[in-house]
Amino acid sequence: MDTATEPETEQVVFVTEDGVPTGETGPKLASHHEHTRLHLAFSCYVLRRSDNALLITQRALHKKVWPGVWTNSVCGHPAPGESLEDAVLRRADYELGLPSLSGLHCVLPKYRYRTPPFQGIVENEFCPVFAAWADDEPAPNPEEVGDWRWIPWPDYAELLNDATANVSYWAKDQYAQLKGIEPFSGL
């Protein structure tokens, strides 16, 4: 894959309310606007194996969609015909420089959300949520990630509740469901 052009050629898969692909696709950037159609996506929370700290990332300031927003470890869209697990691994490598994650598993298979407008963009996604572990330090792609840090799960909760923090809508929304399930409930 030519990762230098990946964002320009990436396609989103449009789905029904139940997450079933309709057979239609659209270019990723052109498909995100004030009337974004429901499409397939994923979120992944990467924990550091040594201490279960969570990797959070700040989206690069020059990104066209949600620039500068702090969020969970990695988010993205599967390509047409690509499994969600393969998409998570592809984007973790491309965005975070983490070519191998262990224990990847889906923790919220039916998560779906629609954001209020943010700089003219509405996210409208059927977005299964995953958890995984990493043994290595990330080497983020500056085209995708502006900043990153490992934080304990309780500190993540504080960040999400800080009204002055620039945190993604989906990270706040997912937290309410994640805090009561493994592996997060024990952190």
**6, 75, 127, 144: which is the annotated catalytic residue?**
75
DSSP string, 42-79: EEEEEEETTT-PEEEEEE-TT-SSSTT-EESSEEE-PP
Q: Is 44 a catalytic residue?
A: no
**6, 44, 85, 125: which is the annotated catalytic residue?**
125
* 39 annotated as a binding-site residue: yes
E strands in the chain: 11-15, 21-27, 39-40, 42-48, 54-59, 70-71, 74-76, 102-108, 112-114, 124-126, 129-134, 145-151
CA 122, chain centre distance (Å): 15
* 125 annotated as a binding-site residue: yes
* 123 annotated as a binding-site residue: yes
* 8 annotated as a binding-site residue: no
* 95 annotated as a binding-site residue: yes
Q: Binding-site residues, please?
A: 32, 39, 77, 95, 123, 125
List binding-site positions for Mg(2+): 95
The catalytic residue positions are 75, 125
